[in-house]
Structure 1
Amino acid sequence: MEYFGYLASVIIGLSLGLIGGGGSILTIPILVYLFKIDPKLATSYSLFIVGVTALSGCYTHYRMGNLKIKSAMYFAIPSVFSILVIREVIILKIPNVIFTINDFQVTKNFLIMIIFAVLMMAASLSMINKKGPHILSAHTNYLQLAIIGSVIGIVTGFLGAGGGFLIIPALLFFANLPMKQAVGTSLLIIFINSSIGFLGDLFIGTPIDYVFLASISSMAFVGMLIGTHLSKKMDGNKLKPIFGWFVLVMGIYILIKEIFMK
């Protein structure tokens, strides 16, 4: 199964390079089901993998002039605060066994995977929808941008997902950025959020297998390079619905596996 895991890791970067998001939503299932990693630890690993992969994309978009630093900072600063509160305070206080119903235990790991499955299905619907988002305002609404950032920080902190599929619409709606600038700025925000979250995990002593992380991240990095190259020749908006259906099937599979196949 590990061979499939390494191959699937390429898809993480491929998706980020092609459509600017979505790949990180696959990181947790790949780590948990193909590499048999504990879900809580997988969220830490996901932050590193997603952050490193996003950083490689940031450089390319920086050269293309697609990074809007001011919008990124208004979004990222409250987002980082939410991430640190969730990962370093709230998650640590959640018991391993939350409650039991008729001999069925609702554990912390079970809760993480169920919420992640629901998030995957929500993300898939936004990808399948072929209608592009409409700009709501001609001006950047920095207050709303900061509020959305703090909310997405909660998602990133709890699940270890980059949240690009949420960040890009927020930048389009509230920062009034063109699509290419929204994609590039999203990668910068994902890098900042993921890096701070991972460093916070190191601070509290989370055990890390750096050799494993380096191998997975390198595969995702290869995918990012391929995706960025292909994005110059292919329309990411046409590929997004196809990837969305794949993510939807994965989300349904996780729900079935966690609820009925335990």
Structure 2
Amino acid sequence: MILVLGALIIGLSLGLLGSGGAIITIPVLIHGLGIEEKSAIASGLIIVGAISLLSSIKNVRNKTVNWPLFLQFGLTGVLGAYWGATLGERSPAILQLLVLSLLMAIAGIRMLMSMPKAPPTTEHIPWTFSLIAIGAMIGFITGFVGVGGGFLVVPAILMFTHISLSGATATSLLIISVNALIGFVGYFTAKTAYPIDFQWPMIALMIVIGTVSSVLGARFGGRLPRTLIVRSFGFMLITLAILMIGNLIINELSLSHWRKI
């Protein structure tokens, strides 16, 4: 039940917002399904990467993906994701989860803040160092903490370009898929001291349910007030961040107590 509900929420987030899927996936895997932290981070990358890629097929067919923008983010994002995963698989899980929790809180707060009115839109994207550098940074975060980075990609696109919101969301989804899948490759091929257990039947089921949910979310999302959608996910992210930080603190205090005995 938790698996199905979690996959539905992950897919809806990606379909409605073009972001937020992976940042929800890891808490679901760890706290909902009891999967070990490193395995959850690596599994989250393949789950969200596959859902995003399959959901992007329709966007590509509808020509809503901005390819020049995708290339600017993607070229450096791929390198950043791989090196982020390489560093992540060597880092303590508590550090990765702490960074993830803080990013969740920041993303949630941003979602609750009032959104500025969008400037006139254009689909023309010049090549700029800012976009290339941001792509590399987001790719690194993707690999290191196991998130797709969509909650960073969409605001960055809207901040540094004037493309439409639908174009930003569609392009973000494809960027997420590439970054997440490359990050997964980094974990899958790494020779690490931390054993990673991929539960493939569970991963496959979440991908199927999440993809269907994402397609439905993209189809019916336009009928709902966008402010309501964004703020609902904002509250959820902040709540999850608080729970994860609280759980990390409790676990560390428990370990410290047992070390003293």
| Deviation of the 1:215 alpha carbon | 1.0
Q: State the one-letter code of the partner of 1:45.
A: S
User: Number of aligned pairs?
Assistant: 246
Is 1:84 aligned with 2:82? yes
* Residue in structure 1 matched with residue 210 of structure 2 by the alignment: 220
Matched-pair contact (CA < 8 Å) for 2:77–2:179: yes
Name the CA shift for 1:93/1:133 in 2 (closer, same or farther; >3 Å): farther
Structure 2 alignment gaps of length 5 or more: 255-261
Matched-pair contact (CA < 8 Å) for 2:2–2:33: no
| TM-superposition CA deviations, 1:172-194 (whole Å, max 9, x none) | 22232111000000011011111
Is 1:258 aligned with 2:244? no
| TM-superposition CA deviations, 1:133-157 (whole Å, max 9, x none) | 6559986452110100111112101
Q: Secondary structure, in 3 states, of the residue corresponding to 1:208?
A: coil
What is the percentage of aligned positions where both structures have the same residue?
28
CA distance in 1 between partners of 2:248 and 2:151 (Å): 24
| Deviation of the 1:91 alpha carbon | 2.9
Matched-pair contact (CA < 8 Å) for 2:52–2:174: yes
| TM-superposition CA deviations, 1:23-56 (whole Å, max 9, x none) | 2210010011111111111111111111111112
CA distance in 2 between partners of 1:122 and 1:68 (Å): 27
CA distance in 2 between partners of 1:18 and 1:241 (Å): 12
Name the CA shift for 1:10/1:258 in 2 (closer, same or farther; >3 Å): same
* Residue in structure 2 matched with residue 16 of structure 1 by the alignment: 14
Matched-pair contact (CA < 8 Å) for 1:80–1:150: yes
Q: State the one-letter code of the partner of 2:96.
A: I
* Residue in structure 1 matched with residue 110 of structure 2 by the alignment: 126
* Residue in structure 2 matched with residue 103 of structure 1 by the alignment: none
Q: State the one-letter code of the partner of 1:258.
A: L
Q: State the one-letter code of the partner of 2:88.
A: I
CA distance in 2 between partners of 1:186 and 1:154 (Å): 16
Matched-pair contact (CA < 8 Å) for 1:66–1:180: yes
What are the equivalent positions in structure 2 for 1:242-253 lying under 5 Å apart?
Answer: 242-253=232-243
| Deviation of the 1:212 alpha carbon | 1.7
* Residue in structure 2 matched with residue 104 of structure 1 by the alignment: none
Name the CA shift for 1:173/1:77 in 2 (closer, same or farther; >3 Å): same
Structure 1 alignment gaps of length 5 or more: 95-107
CA distance in 1 between partners of 2:48 and 2:111 (Å): 19
* Residue in structure 2 matched with residue 60 of structure 1 by the alignment: 58
CA distance in 2 between partners of 1:135 and 1:228 (Å): 23
User: 1:163 pairs with 149, 153, 178, which one?
Assistant: 149
What are the equivalent positions in structure 2 for 1:146-225 lying under 5 Å apart?
Answer: 146-204=132-190, 207-225=197-215
Runs of 4+ in structure 1 over 4 Å off: 133-139
| Deviation of the 1:171 alpha carbon | 1.4
Using the size of structure 1 for normalisation, the TM-score is 0.86
| Deviation of the 1:71 alpha carbon | 0.9
Name the CA shift for 1:92/1:200 in 2 (closer, same or farther; >3 Å): closer
CA distance in 2 between partners of 1:241 and 1:91 (Å): 30
